[in-house]
Amino acid sequence: MFPHFLFKEKLSIYIYIEREREKENMLKYVLLLLSALISSEASGSLRFDDAFSMAYVVEGELLRLNFTWDGDHDWAALGLHNKTNEGMPNAEILMCNTKTCQVRYSTDYVKPDLSKNQYLDDVSIEKLKSGQNFASFTRSLKQPSALSVAITNQTLGLIFARGMMDSTTGEPLIHDTTPGRWQVNFFHNGAQPSPSPAPTPGPSPTPSPTHKAGVWPDRFDAHMTIAPSQPPEAQLTTKLGSRLRYDFPMRRQLWEYWNVDDAQRRVVFAELWINTTLYELDFSNGSSPQCSETQIDLEILRPDWLVHTTYVSSHYLLRQPDSLNATKACFASTYQISDLFQDPAPIGGMTNNWLVANSTMAEPVRLEGPDNFARPTWLTVQEWSSMNPVKEHDPGTFDIPASCHNTSRLSRRALRPQGSFSMLQRLRPHFSDLSL
């Protein structure tokens, strides 16, 4: 038994009871409320989704909040609003990670600023045996600062989200596809106020398809041909052969490019992305690359980047064999049944994503999307010929070339996100002026 006392004083006690189901090897936590002896006190819990829940108790002048979220995310956050159905702008953000809990303020749909006034007390952080993260803290019911929210007997708007931390700076990265909105009155024991009457519903919508995009392996080795960054015309030209080695647990990837007509596959350009540093390697003058370094606020794509996309239809697509395994100059392609998933964002991700039908590892067949913010109508098309999960990559795969440590040849520049997403948050490449 593994109890967590949500409030330490004499009137109310919450206890989490850990139970293990032997057959499923899972841990469950049951929240037990043992008495509320004074009518002015209130308590409750909210479950935002399958992996993020919150419990609270009001006692005296304090509100205690408990966060429990999945171990795959470094941080979880709750935003408070005086009005319901509000988003990030002007929200009081209460964010907890695996080390601490912080107060942040958000002025727009950007990373919230850390508050100079940190008014969360009695902070407790724990890693549960289930692998979940647990955080607990108290906050005054009063308005601790001019930008914070007074907690009274009224309905407040909530926003919630989860995400990862930058392993280098320790700052939170942009949330993933898990944000949402809620509402609560902390004095109504978790009961939601009756909503305003809704308009008379129209005809029932057509049931949505059951097709779902899978999740990438944590590590894989993939090959593809690419038509990079071209204006929308009747034909796009395939210029590049490419190899992508992806290692999400270590937050790194190596993307190599060569002229598609080069049977020797001599690499002319490469991108080595480690944590939040992008090394661009130009091999045009020989085997020792000219290196430039870009510091960015993002890491490589998460394996679950496709889960928020929407299934549209299924198609048979011609799929090229892996050129590395082809033994003849001319070879026949085969038709691959593929599910089309679309990203609603015209910039920030590949718009059209054809994946091997019912592929649990979201194996791409073709990815198509706009180039960048400067050229939103220019397209990049990737034809994936293979995607092979690996346990480990070869030693030295992600070693930083010596030329990158030569300050006389190193170009350092800061890259700022444009709009809600950075260009680099989507699948590369978007370069259109590469000479091959």
More reliable by pLDDT, 30 or 188: 188
pLDDT tops 90 at residue 355: yes
Bridge-based pairing of strands 240-247 and 252-259 is antiparallel
CA 349 to chain centre: 12
pLDDT at position 301, please?
Answer: 85
CA dist., res. 118 & res. 144, Å (int): 9
pLDDT in tens, 13-30: 343 433 444 344 344 333
Number of CB atoms found within 10 A of residue 415's CB: 15
How far is the CA of 387 from the CAs of 222, 237, 272, 382, in angstroms? 4, 23, 19, 13
Q: Are 352 and 188 in contact (CB under 8 A)?
A: no
pTM over 0.85? The answer is: no
Sheet of 121-127, strands arranged across? 42-49, 52-59, 62-69, 133-140, 121-127
3-state secondary structure of 356: strand
pLDDT in tens, 104-125: 998 777 788 898 899 999 999 9
pLDDT category of residue 345 using cuts at 50, 70 and 90: low
DSSP string covering 21-37, please? ETTTTEEEEEEEE----
**For residue 261, what are the contacts with CB-CB under 8 A and spacing of at least 6?**
none
> Locate tokens 């941080």: which residue?
75
pLDDT at position 204, please?
Answer: 47
pLDDT tops 90 at residue 321: no
pLDDT tops 80 at residue 297: no
| Range 297-321 average pLDDT | 85
Amino acid at 82: N
pLDDT tops 90 at residue 134: yes
How far is the CA of 51 from the CAs of 47, 97, 159, 386, in angstroms? 8, 15, 15, 32
| Range 409-429 average pLDDT | 37
pLDDT at position 396, please?
Answer: 94
Buried b vs exposed e over 348-358: b needs ≥16 C-beta within 10 Å? Answer: bbbbbbbbbee
CA dist., res. 267 & res. 112, Å (int): 41
pLDDT tops 80 at residue 141: yes
pLDDT in tens, 212-223: 889 999 999 999
More reliable by pLDDT, 229 or 135: 135
| Range 227-237 average pLDDT | 85
Of 183-192, 299-308, 414-423, give the lowest mean pLDDT range.
Answer: 414-423
pLDDT tops 70 at residue 279: yes
CA dist., res. 389 & res. 218, Å (int): 8
| Range 312-335 average pLDDT | 69
DSSP string covering 370-428, please? E--SS-TT-EEEEEEEEEEE-SSPPTTTTPPPGGGG-TTT-EEEE---BTTB-GGGSPS
Structure tokens at 219: 């590590």
pLDDT category of residue 314 using cuts at 50, 70 and 90: very high
CA dist., res. 114 & res. 108, Å (int): 14
pLDDT in tens, 142-169: 888 888 888 888 888 888 888 888 888 8
pLDDT category of residue 373 using cuts at 50, 70 and 90: low
| Range 216-241 average pLDDT | 89
Going by C-alpha positions, the residue among 151, 172, 149, 171 that lies closest to residue 161 is 172
Of 54-68, 292-306, 328-342, give the lowest mean pLDDT range.
Answer: 328-342
pLDDT in tens, 33-71: 344 334 346 778 888 877 888 888 888 888 899 999 998
pLDDT at position 159, please?
Answer: 87
pLDDT category of residue 75 using cuts at 50, 70 and 90: very high
Of 138-142, 159-163, 293-297, 381-385, give the lowest mean pLDDT range.
Answer: 293-297
Domains (ranges, CATH) in the chain?
A: 14-184 (2.60.40), 219-425 (2.50.20.10)
Question: What's the whole-number average pLDDT of the chain?
Answer: 76
The sign of the CA dihedral 213, 303, 336, 227 is positive
Structure tokens at 387: 């995607």
Q: Are 237 and 227 in contact (CB under 8 A)?
A: yes
Number of CB atoms found within 10 A of residue 81's CB: 20
pLDDT in tens, 1-15: 334 433 334 334 343
CA dist., res. 358 & res. 350, Å (int): 19
Q: Are 68 and 160 in contact (CB under 8 A)?
A: no
Residue 21 β-bridge partners: 26
More reliable by pLDDT, 184 or 364: 364
More reliable by pLDDT, 2 or 398: 398
